[in-house]
Structure 1
Protein backbone atom coordinates (compact mmCIF):
# COMPACT_ATOMS: atom_id res chain seq x y z
CA UNK A 1 0.00 0.00 0.00
CA UNK A 2 1.29 3.44 -0.91
CA UNK A 3 0.98 6.13 1.75
CA UNK A 4 0.78 9.43 -0.12
CA UNK A 5 -1.00 11.70 2.32
CA UNK A 6 -0.14 12.90 5.79
CA UNK A 7 -2.34 14.83 8.18
CA UNK A 8 -1.25 16.62 11.31
CA UNK A 9 -3.63 16.03 14.22
CA UNK A 10 -4.57 19.42 15.68
CA UNK A 11 -6.68 20.29 18.75
CA UNK A 12 -9.78 20.88 16.58
CA UNK A 13 -9.50 17.25 15.35
CA UNK A 14 -9.96 15.76 18.83
CA UNK A 15 -13.00 14.21 20.50
CA UNK A 16 -14.11 14.62 24.13
CA UNK A 17 -11.57 11.95 25.14
CA UNK A 18 -8.68 14.04 23.75
CA UNK A 19 -7.96 11.62 20.91
CA UNK A 20 -8.55 11.86 17.17
CA UNK A 21 -12.27 12.09 16.37
CA UNK A 22 -13.22 9.13 14.16
CA UNK A 23 -15.46 11.28 11.98
CA UNK A 24 -12.56 13.59 11.17
CA UNK A 25 -10.40 10.62 10.15
CA UNK A 26 -13.20 9.20 7.97
CA UNK A 27 -13.54 12.61 6.30
CA UNK A 28 -9.80 12.59 5.53
CA UNK A 29 -10.06 9.05 4.14
CA UNK A 30 -13.05 9.92 1.95
CA UNK A 31 -11.28 12.99 0.59
CA UNK A 32 -8.13 10.98 -0.17
CA UNK A 33 -10.18 8.26 -1.91
CA UNK A 34 -11.94 10.85 -4.08
CA UNK A 35 -8.68 12.61 -4.99
CA UNK A 36 -7.01 9.29 -5.83
CA UNK A 37 -10.00 8.28 -7.99
CA UNK A 38 -10.15 11.62 -9.80
CA UNK A 39 -6.51 11.25 -10.79
CA UNK A 40 -6.87 7.58 -11.81
CA UNK A 41 -10.10 8.05 -13.77
CA UNK A 42 -9.15 11.49 -15.16
CA UNK A 43 -12.57 12.88 -14.25
CA UNK A 44 -13.41 15.39 -11.53
CA UNK A 45 -16.94 13.98 -11.21
CA UNK A 46 -16.31 11.07 -8.85
CA UNK A 47 -18.42 10.24 -5.79
CA UNK A 48 -18.28 7.77 -2.93
CA UNK A 49 -20.94 5.09 -3.31
CA UNK A 50 -20.01 2.67 -0.55
CA UNK A 51 -17.70 2.33 2.42
CA UNK A 52 -17.42 -1.11 4.03
CA UNK A 53 -17.03 -1.94 7.68
CA UNK A 54 -14.65 0.41 9.41
CA UNK A 55 -12.35 -1.17 11.96
CA UNK A 56 -10.71 1.23 14.43
CA UNK A 57 -7.59 -0.39 15.88
CA UNK A 58 -5.84 2.44 17.73
CA UNK A 59 -5.89 6.24 17.87
CA UNK A 60 -3.84 9.40 17.57
CA UNK A 61 -3.39 12.47 19.77
CA UNK A 62 -2.73 16.13 19.12
CA UNK A 63 0.63 16.56 17.42
CA UNK A 64 0.68 13.08 15.90
CA UNK A 65 1.03 12.59 12.14
CA UNK A 66 -1.50 10.33 10.43
CA UNK A 67 -0.59 8.70 7.12
CA UNK A 68 -3.34 7.57 4.75
CA UNK A 69 -2.69 4.80 2.25
CA UNK A 70 -4.87 3.80 -0.70
CA UNK A 71 -4.69 0.67 -2.83
CA UNK A 72 -6.79 -0.31 -5.84
CA UNK A 73 -8.73 -3.53 -5.35
CA UNK A 74 -10.66 -3.59 -8.63
CA UNK A 75 -11.63 -1.55 -11.67
CA UNK A 76 -15.34 -1.88 -12.49
CA UNK A 77 -17.11 -0.54 -15.58
CA UNK A 78 -18.04 2.78 -13.98
CA UNK A 79 -16.48 2.28 -10.55
CA UNK A 80 -13.18 1.91 -8.78
CA UNK A 81 -12.89 -0.19 -5.62
CA UNK A 82 -10.20 0.87 -3.17
CA UNK A 83 -8.95 -0.25 0.22
CA UNK A 84 -7.47 2.08 2.76
CA UNK A 85 -5.35 2.13 5.87
CA UNK A 86 -4.63 5.07 8.14
CA UNK A 87 -1.69 4.72 10.50
CA UNK A 88 -0.08 6.79 13.21
CA UNK A 89 3.36 7.77 11.92
CA UNK A 90 4.57 8.42 15.47
CA UNK A 91 3.63 5.00 16.92
CA UNK A 92 3.67 3.02 13.64
CA UNK A 93 0.29 1.55 14.64
CA UNK A 94 -2.60 1.12 12.25
CA UNK A 95 -5.47 3.39 13.33
CA UNK A 96 -8.17 2.19 10.97
CA UNK A 97 -8.65 -0.08 7.98
CA UNK A 98 -11.40 0.11 5.38
CA UNK A 99 -11.53 -2.95 3.13
CA UNK A 100 -13.75 -1.43 0.45
CA UNK A 101 -14.44 2.07 -0.76
CA UNK A 102 -16.42 2.08 -3.99
CA UNK A 103 -16.01 5.23 -6.01
CA UNK A 104 -18.29 5.93 -9.01
CA UNK A 105 -17.38 7.82 -12.18
CA UNK A 106 -20.13 10.28 -13.22
CA UNK A 107 -20.93 12.14 -16.43
CA UNK A 108 -22.04 15.80 -16.67
CA UNK A 109 -25.64 14.78 -15.86
CA UNK A 110 -24.54 13.09 -12.62
CA UNK A 111 -25.15 9.55 -13.90
CA UNK A 112 -22.74 6.64 -13.57
CA UNK A 113 -20.71 6.34 -16.75
CA UNK A 114 -18.00 3.92 -17.94
CA UNK A 115 -14.47 5.17 -17.40
CA UNK A 116 -12.59 2.79 -19.71
CA UNK A 117 -9.76 2.18 -17.22
CA UNK A 118 -8.50 -1.31 -16.39
CA UNK A 119 -5.29 -0.75 -14.45
CA UNK A 120 -3.46 1.74 -12.27
CA UNK A 121 -1.80 4.51 -14.21
CA UNK A 122 0.98 6.53 -12.65
CA UNK A 123 1.58 10.16 -13.54
CA UNK A 124 4.99 9.32 -15.04
CA UNK A 125 3.32 6.80 -17.38
CA UNK A 126 0.70 9.35 -18.38
CA UNK A 127 3.35 12.00 -19.04
CA UNK A 128 5.37 9.55 -21.14
CA UNK A 129 2.25 8.63 -23.13
CA UNK A 130 1.30 12.26 -23.67
CA UNK A 131 4.89 13.14 -24.56
CA UNK A 132 4.92 10.40 -27.19
CA UNK A 133 1.65 11.65 -28.64
CA UNK A 134 2.97 15.23 -28.73
CA UNK A 135 6.11 14.17 -30.61
CA UNK A 136 4.00 12.27 -33.16
CA UNK A 137 2.06 15.49 -33.92
CA UNK A 138 5.26 17.50 -34.51
Structure 2
Protein backbone atom coordinates (compact mmCIF):
# COMPACT_ATOMS: atom_id res chain seq x y z
CA UNK A 1 0.00 0.00 0.00
CA UNK A 2 1.29 3.48 -0.87
CA UNK A 3 0.36 6.83 0.67
CA UNK A 4 1.67 10.27 -0.26
CA UNK A 5 2.36 13.63 1.40
CA UNK A 6 4.21 16.83 0.57
CA UNK A 7 6.98 18.42 2.64
CA UNK A 8 6.10 22.00 3.64
CA UNK A 9 8.08 24.73 5.42
CA UNK A 10 6.53 23.88 8.80
CA UNK A 11 8.07 20.37 8.55
CA UNK A 12 11.66 21.62 8.22
CA UNK A 13 14.45 21.68 10.80
CA UNK A 14 16.87 24.58 11.41
CA UNK A 15 19.02 23.37 8.48
CA UNK A 16 16.10 23.68 6.05
CA UNK A 17 15.43 19.96 5.55
CA UNK A 18 12.70 17.62 6.78
CA UNK A 19 12.86 17.19 10.55
CA UNK A 20 13.43 13.52 11.47
CA UNK A 21 10.70 13.57 14.11
CA UNK A 22 8.14 14.57 11.49
CA UNK A 23 9.26 11.65 9.33
CA UNK A 24 8.84 9.24 12.27
CA UNK A 25 5.33 10.59 12.97
CA UNK A 26 4.34 10.15 9.34
CA UNK A 27 5.78 6.63 9.19
CA UNK A 28 3.88 5.60 12.32
CA UNK A 29 0.65 7.15 11.03
CA UNK A 30 0.87 5.69 7.51
CA UNK A 31 1.82 2.21 8.70
CA UNK A 32 -1.05 2.31 11.22
CA UNK A 33 -3.44 3.25 8.40
CA UNK A 34 -2.25 0.25 6.36
CA UNK A 35 -2.62 -2.08 9.36
CA UNK A 36 -6.07 -0.71 10.17
CA UNK A 37 -7.21 -1.43 6.64
CA UNK A 38 -5.79 -4.96 6.85
CA UNK A 39 -7.42 -5.55 10.27
CA UNK A 40 -10.67 -3.55 10.31
CA UNK A 41 -12.28 -3.15 13.71
CA UNK A 42 -9.09 -4.07 15.58
CA UNK A 43 -7.57 -1.75 18.18
CA UNK A 44 -3.93 -1.59 17.04
CA UNK A 45 -1.15 0.27 18.84
CA UNK A 46 2.51 0.75 17.95
CA UNK A 47 4.89 -1.31 20.09
CA UNK A 48 8.15 -0.68 18.27
CA UNK A 49 10.19 0.37 15.28
CA UNK A 50 13.28 -1.51 14.14
CA UNK A 51 16.45 0.28 13.10
CA UNK A 52 15.37 3.52 11.45
CA UNK A 53 17.55 4.45 8.49
CA UNK A 54 17.58 8.07 7.35
CA UNK A 55 19.36 7.67 4.00
CA UNK A 56 19.12 11.15 2.43
CA UNK A 57 17.98 14.58 3.52
CA UNK A 58 14.62 15.69 2.20
CA UNK A 59 14.02 19.12 0.63
CA UNK A 60 11.03 21.38 1.07
CA UNK A 61 8.45 20.69 -1.64
CA UNK A 62 9.39 17.03 -2.00
CA UNK A 63 6.55 14.59 -2.55
CA UNK A 64 6.99 11.60 -0.25
CA UNK A 65 5.70 8.13 -1.05
CA UNK A 66 5.23 5.80 1.92
CA UNK A 67 5.31 2.14 0.92
CA UNK A 68 4.05 -0.32 3.54
CA UNK A 69 4.38 -4.07 3.11
CA UNK A 70 3.14 -6.60 5.68
CA UNK A 71 6.19 -8.62 6.68
CA UNK A 72 5.07 -10.91 9.50
CA UNK A 73 1.95 -11.70 11.49
CA UNK A 74 2.17 -13.30 14.89
CA UNK A 75 -0.63 -14.28 17.25
CA UNK A 76 -1.28 -10.76 18.59
CA UNK A 77 1.08 -8.57 16.56
CA UNK A 78 1.89 -7.66 12.98
CA UNK A 79 5.00 -6.08 11.45
CA UNK A 80 5.19 -3.91 8.35
CA UNK A 81 8.29 -2.98 6.38
CA UNK A 82 8.15 0.71 5.53
CA UNK A 83 10.15 2.49 2.85
CA UNK A 84 9.83 6.18 2.10
CA UNK A 85 10.75 7.65 -1.26
CA UNK A 86 11.18 11.35 -2.09
CA UNK A 87 10.54 13.04 -5.40
CA UNK A 88 12.36 16.34 -4.85
CA UNK A 89 11.35 19.45 -6.81
CA UNK A 90 13.05 19.32 -10.20
CA UNK A 91 14.27 15.72 -9.73
CA UNK A 92 13.83 13.29 -12.60
CA UNK A 93 13.18 10.32 -10.33
CA UNK A 94 12.48 9.50 -6.71
CA UNK A 95 15.02 8.10 -4.27
CA UNK A 96 14.64 6.04 -1.11
CA UNK A 97 15.17 8.35 1.85
CA UNK A 98 14.06 6.27 4.86
CA UNK A 99 13.34 2.70 5.92
CA UNK A 100 12.25 0.79 9.02
CA UNK A 101 10.01 -2.01 10.22
CA UNK A 102 7.15 -1.14 12.58
CA UNK A 103 5.20 -3.53 14.79
CA UNK A 104 1.65 -3.15 16.05
CA UNK A 105 -0.17 -5.21 18.67
CA UNK A 106 -3.91 -5.71 18.92
CA UNK A 107 -5.39 -4.77 22.28
CA UNK A 108 -8.70 -6.01 23.65
CA UNK A 109 -11.21 -3.98 25.67
CA UNK A 110 -9.20 -4.82 28.82
CA UNK A 111 -6.05 -3.25 27.31
CA UNK A 112 -4.31 -6.61 27.02
CA UNK A 113 -2.96 -8.16 23.79
CA UNK A 114 -5.49 -10.34 22.01
CA UNK A 115 -5.47 -12.55 18.95
CA UNK A 116 -5.40 -11.00 15.48
CA UNK A 117 -7.79 -12.38 12.90
CA UNK A 118 -6.21 -14.49 10.19
CA UNK A 119 -5.90 -12.81 6.78
CA UNK A 120 -8.60 -13.63 4.24
Shared fold, TM over 0.5: yes
- Kindly tell me the number of residue pairs found equivalent between the two proteins: 116
Residue matched to 1:135: none
CA drift at 1:43:
2.6
What TM-score do you get using the length of structure 1 for normalisation? 0.79
Structure showing the higher helix proportion among its residues: 1
| Cα distance in structure 2, aligned partners of 1:65 and 1:71 | 20
Q: Secondary structure at the match of 1:116?
A: coil
Bigger Rg, which one: 1
* Aligned mate of 1:56, from 54, 57, 77: 54
Moved over 6 A (4+): none
What TM-score do you get using the length of structure 2 for normalisation? 0.90
Q: Secondary structure at the match of 2:3?
A: strand
Alignment gaps of 5+ in structure 2: none
Residue matched to 2:21: 23
* Aligned mate of 2:38, from 37, 40, 43: 40
Q: CA RMSD in A?
A: 1.3
| Cα distance in structure 2, aligned partners of 1:84 and 1:33 | 7
CA drift at 1:107:
1.0
